[in-house]
Amino acid sequence: MITLKINDKSVKVTEGTSIFEAAESIGCKIPALCYHRDLSVYGGCRLCIVEIKGRAGFPISCATPVEEGMEVLTHTPEICELRKNIFDLIIAYYPFECQLKCDSCATNKICELRQLAEEMEINELKFVPIARQGEMDDSSLALKFDSSRCINCGRCVRVCREVQHVGILTPSRRGPATQVSTFMDKGMGNVDCTGCGQCLLVCPVGAIQENFEINQVLAAIADPKKHVVVQVAPSVRFTIGEEFGEKAGVNLEKQMVTALRKLNFDQIFDTVFSADLTIMEESAEFIKRFTEGAKLPLISSCCPGWIRFAEDHLPELKDNLSTCKSPQQMFGALLKSYYAEKKGLEPKDIVSVSVMPCTAKKAECMRPEMIENGIYDVDYVLTTRELASMIQSRGMHLPELPEGKYDAPFGITTGAGLLFGVSGGVMEAALRTAYELITKEELPKIEFDDVRGLKGIKSAEIDIKGTKIKVAVANGLENSWQLLKHADDYHFIEIMACTGGCIGGGGQPISRDPDVLQKRKNGLYKDDKNMKLRKSHKNPAIQQLYKEFLGHPLSEKSHHYLHINADLQSPFIPK
Amino acid sequence: MPEHKYLKKFIEASPSGDFANLRKAVEYGRDKCLNELEISGLVGRGGAGFSTAAKWKFAWNSPDVVLICNGDEGEPGSFKDRYILENGAFLLLEGLLISAFMLNSSEVYLYIRDEYKDALEAFHKCLDDNLDLIVWYCEQVNPGFELKVVCGGGAYVCGDETSLINSLEGKRPHSRIKPPYPAEKGLRGLPTIVNNVETLSNLPLIIRDGGEKFSSMGVEGSRGSKLICLSGNVEKPGLYEIEMGKITLEEIIYTLGGGCPNGKLKFVIPGGTSTAVLAPDGLKIAVDYGSLRKAGTSLGTGAVIVADESVDALDAACNAADFFMSETCGICFPCKEGNRQIDHLLNLIRQGKGQESYLKLIQDVALTASCAARCGLGQSCGNMVTSLIDKFRTDFVGAKL
Ligand SMILES: Cc1cc2nc3c(=O)[nH]c(=O)nc-3n(C[C@H](O)[C@H](O)[C@H](O)COP(=O)(O)O)c2cc1C
Ligand code: SF4
Ligand code: SF4
Ligand code: SF4
Ligand code: SF4
């Protein structure tokens, strides 16, 4: 332990801690823009300068480790003045509409410039604004990048490289024209971007955003000829409240259903249902491969960010990927077939909308293998944030809405399906079902603690009546990359592109709370525990679907609607 | 290229020799050589004037030290390294070999800016001419020795040692956060010593004459001779070698350089565009690191640029501002945005759209960059502009505001 003084206050921290973190630990917040706790130190914004007794100049606190007996000052008048100047210089070269007129700004909720202006008590800008040109990169189906808003803090570059092992974002151009871009300015849609949106989550100013599809959805709802159906992913209910000031991890499912009704969606379904369906198919696939001695490990395929990464970086694992579509796409396929038939609707008149924690799903639904005869399984994907803003723009305050209920025939769901929202959840849900299908006996303990938690890589050995099955789980693509170097050591692997799984998805509310994933995760596991049904194969609605329509898992019909039969590696087709 | 004028030590020491100095160094052994270097009091000629022996001591006991000779010479007005490369390549080569021997370094780079084609050719010719000696060196003195000559891409910031290392690694040339300093962790994480061309060219002299003799020249903190690149409005521009601390700036300009040919002297940039200018009343100042520092400016690389009264201070400031804005590496906010702001404000003033308050703003930016920027480029970008404003306010305010 090292003892130092920060603003005359004694602090004890472990060796290697930076001054910045040491200050944070005693509630002394030093302004910063390029610093991010999960990323390497960048040292670009220079806002976190401090004074250290006996040392010349103004070292940056994020890059300076604490030393025994150090005396640090963080907010002297001189430092504050320098910080104001730096901040003011940033705003001087920011889009003209900014100039800290935050009330009229679309990104004001998340903008750290605004927060800093408040913290630093900036009420007047002294430098002269300089006109700035930027380009909008809208080549990606998932995200768009407005370079005129980018302050070059490098967080997105680092998250993409360090956390996601993708590295498509890079500083480009020279000197004053330096800006973040993609290889040869090809655009995010034309390089190996997975669409995971982790870059968006760390961007302090909202320069990267999802491709908004709110207007298309509203137009479909307004069209009397269209039957607009919406499905909501498991994790959304635990996070959407944050956009309304609720605590993270509070389940607002029932209020959300009411909101969707008020938004005039014709039918409201729960993706947890198709998550249960995914488990039926995927565990059947696993059992088949395992008993037939076919190619293992089986690797989950429900995360489109991961699928895209695998195509670009690990094509050799192609045959290990489960052929199951993701729950979103399975649901979409059912809506345009089984459901259409049941309701006597033409598939082309159904508009299938999904609300997802995920930006990659915006691109997933446009993949050629997700389209049949011009009919898309899913037509539009909204992020959690987009739904929240639709609700807000109707003047509704979500937490105060009355409770509503999902529609039949997909209204019954299980805790297993709910677990899809968190890293390790697909694995646990699949094991709950596989165990019982293999042994025909009841699982002695339903929780698989080894695959739970926010660790980047988790593994476990499961004893299924004498047969040992080795499973592993990774979240975040760098972790996944590391894990998959040893793919052959396992029988079954779950991969989620986002940190923590979908609770940390690129479509989730942007939070600066370091514990937010923990809170979201806890909420989710708590609700699994409270569910009446906790195993997918025990879901009566699922059983009925097989009886009425699909036959049995891995049947021909299942394969047609619920699995990917085409070769991956196919290019995206823009709508 | 102006021909050389007052060059003494360098040319004397630079016959196409037989490596006598190198042989002597080998005889001495590395520790005795370091001792001589320490006694000599040699400080770096790349701008900062940091003690060479002190720098080397940081890496003295490390294995796998990388040695980089910095020939990027991007400072406007500086052409001394080019002169050495073109006319005294042997001296540099011998200096490099002695240094590599002393530092136990088998991985050595000479980083030359891309524009220096003749210099590159001259150095290559020198290598060819001395192949036998180099073979002997590789076999007998420094087995595994490899010298790589690398051309930079032309960015000024590549001259900064950490940016240079990034550039050598094939990365974007932006500075690294210090500490760790390169001597601790540089190229590929290895301890790395970066020295200027002129600095290393002094080594053969120190070995030949002994540290004592070297340090008898010059004054405390500025031992030995220094190459001065005299340019601008002077009668006899060119390269001069001076004994530091023993000649004033005025003498350099008038006695050696012959003064301003057409008109009166207005100001002098003593050490390149990153140093503060001196007005005529400030020229009676000894030219050495300490004296110039005390006068609020710096000897820098020794690029003395003379401006006569035909030069408008605002124009000169615009020029410097444009240079720094264009050459920022773009990573840190005070430098990138600060230089953009200074350039913008000066241009507004030039276009007659300025206000007097802008001058204060420029000073605020310069102060911010000097305190908070990440590397020397940003830290020194405002020196020339603010000193011009201080000394020639009327050029800024007068007609334009
Ligand atoms: C922006 C910038 C440009 C520089 N350019 C050069 C250069 O062209 N040549 C050089 O030798 N040193 C240059 N330096 C200084 C180097 O970083 C380094 O201090 C020097 O090469 C060390 O050598 P020395 O100790 O022999 O002077 C520059 C520094 C900065 C910040
Ligand atoms: S969406 Fe993901 S892969 Fe694409 S740039 Fe952002 S972090 Fe990288
Ligand atoms: S896009 Fe956002 S995160 Fe990326 S460099 Fe720009 S401001 Fe930073
Ligand atoms: S982990 Fe979830 S939110 Fe993230 S890309 Fe995958 S499916 Fe989308
Ligand atoms: S001071 Fe300028 S050149 Fe140096 S790191 Fe900062 S932006 Fe780059």
User: Which CATH number do you get for residue A309?
Assistant: 3.40.950.10
Q: With both helix axes pointing from N to C terminus, report the angle between B89-103 and B117-129 in degrees, rounded to the nearest 10.
A: 70
| CB contact (8 A) between residue A60 and residue B172 | no
B129/B187 same-domain check: yes
Quick one: A202 and A291 in the same domain?
no
Residue A218 within a domain:
no
**Residue carrying structure tokens 């087995």:** B143
Q: Which of A138, A134, A149, A146 minimizes the C-alpha distance to A188?
A: A138
Take residue A119 and report the two structure tokens written for it.
């913290």
Whether the predicted pLDDT of A10 surpasses 50: yes
pLDDT higher than threshold 60 for residue B16: no
Sign for the pseudo-dihedral over CA of B380, B384, B385, B386: positive
Six-digit token pair at A107?
Answer: 């990104």
Among A119, A148, A180, identify where a domain stops. A119
- Residues B336, B262 within the same domain: no
Q: Are residue B208 and residue B222 in the same domain, yes or no?
A: no
Q: pTM above 0.90?
A: yes
Q: Which residues of B touch A177 (CB under 8 A)?
A: 330
- Give chain A's domain count: 3
What is the overall mean pLDDT for chain A? 95
Residue B146, beta-bridge partner list: B107
What residues of B are in contact with residue A43 (Cβ under 8 Å)?
177, 331-332, 374
Rounded (5°) CA angle B21-B26-B31: 110
- Smallest CA-to-CA distance from B17 within B88, B114, B71 is with B88
In this predicted structure, what is the pLDDT of residue B15? 54
Domain count, chain B: 3
Joined together, the tokens standing for residue A362 give: 């915006």
Per-residue pLDDT tens for A287-344? Answer: 999 999 999 999 999 999 999 999 999 989 988 999 999 999 999 999 999 999 999 9
> Residue A144: its pLDDT value, please?
97
Domain CATH number, residue B265: 3.10.20.600
Q: Determine whether the shortest distance from the Cβ of B160 to ligand 1 is under 6 A.
A: yes
Rg (CA), chain A: 25
Domain interval for residue B336: 313-396
SS3 B267: strand
Residue at a domain's end among A180, A211, A242: A211
Q: How crowded is residue A326: how many other Cβ atoms within 10 Å of its Cβ?
A: 31
Domain boundary among B289, B308, B327: B308
pLDDT-derived band at B10 (thresholds 50, 70, 90) equals low
Does residue B378 line the site of ligand 1, with CB under 6 A?
no
Q: Is residue B42 within 8 Å of B199, Cβ to Cβ?
A: yes
Is A145:A154 a contact under the CB 8 Å cutoff?
no
Residue A106: which domain range?
A: 2-119
Check whether residue A408 and residue A540 sit in a common domain.
yes
Buried b or exposed e, range B251-273, using 16+ CB within 10 angstroms: bbbbebbebbeeeebbbbbbbbb
Same domain, A167 and A256: no
Exposure string (b/e) for A124-133, b if CB count within 10 Å is 16 or more? ebebbbbeee
Percentage, residues of chain A above pLDDT 90: 91
Burial class (CB in 10 A: 0-12, 13-18, 19+), A513: exposed
Same domain, B357 and B333: yes
Indicate whether B105 and B130 sit together in one domain: yes
Question: CB within 6 Å of ligand 2 — which residues?
Answer: A 143, 159-160, 164, 166, 168-169, 188, 193-199
Looking at the complex, does the CB of residue A178 fall below 8 Å from at least one CB of chain B? yes
* Whether A254 and A201 share a structural domain: no
- B contacts of A62 (beta carbons < 8 Å): none
Q: Which of B330, B338, B365 sits opposite A152 (nearest CB)?
A: B330
| Cβ neighbour number for residue B361 with a 10 Å cutoff | 19
Residues A216-238 as b or e (16 or more Cβ within 10 Å = b)? ebeebbeeeebbbbbbbbbbbbb
A45 in B contact zone (CB under 8 Å) = yes
Give the strand pairing for A51-52 and A71-73: antiparallel
The pLDDT tens digits of the residues spanning B45-59 come to: 999 999 999 999 999
Give the count of beta carbons closer than 10 Å to the beta carbon of residue A190.
17
B358 lies within 8 A of chain A by CB: yes
Residue A321: inside a domain:
yes
Whether residues B280 and B239 fall in one domain: yes
Given ligand 5 and candidates B75, B174, B324, which is best to mutate, with the most ligand atoms within 8 Å of its CB?
B174
A397 found inside a domain:
yes
Q: Clarify whether residues B45 and B194 are in a common domain.
A: yes
In 3-state terms, what secondary structure has residue B247? coil
Nearest residue of B to residue A57 by CA position?
B371
User: Phi and psi of A248, rounded to 5°?
Assistant: -65, 140
Q: What is the rounded distance in angstroms from the CA atom of residue A136 to the CA atom of residue B40?
A: 59
Look at A266-275, A376-385, B9-18, B376-385 and tell me which has the smallest mean pLDDT.
B9-18
Q: B110: phi > 0 → left, psi -120 to 50 → alpha, else beta; which? A: beta
Q: Which CATH number is B319's domain given?
A: 1.20.1440.230
pLDDT of B163 above 60: yes
In this prediction, residue B153 carries a pLDDT of: 80
Task: Please report residues of B whose CB lies closer than 8 A to that of A176.
Answer: 325-326, 328, 330, 336, 339-340
Radius of gyration of chain B (CA): 21
Active-site residue numbers of A? 282, 285, 302, 322, 361, 364, 369, 502
Residue A204 shares a structural domain with residue A260: no
Whole-angstrom Cα distance, residue B68 to residue B159?
A: 11
**Average confidence (pLDDT) over A400-421:** 95
Judged against a pLDDT cut of 80, whether residue A263 lies above it is answered with yes
**Domain finish residue from A211, A244, A266:** A211
Using CA coordinates, name the residue in chain A closest to B154.
Answer: A174
If contacts are CB pairs under 8 Å, which of residues 207-246 in chain B contact chain A?
none
Looking at the structure, tell me whether residues A198 and A304 fall in a common domain.
Answer: no
Element (DSSP H or E) covering residue B125: helix B117-129
Q: Which residue of B has its CA nearest to A62?
A: B177
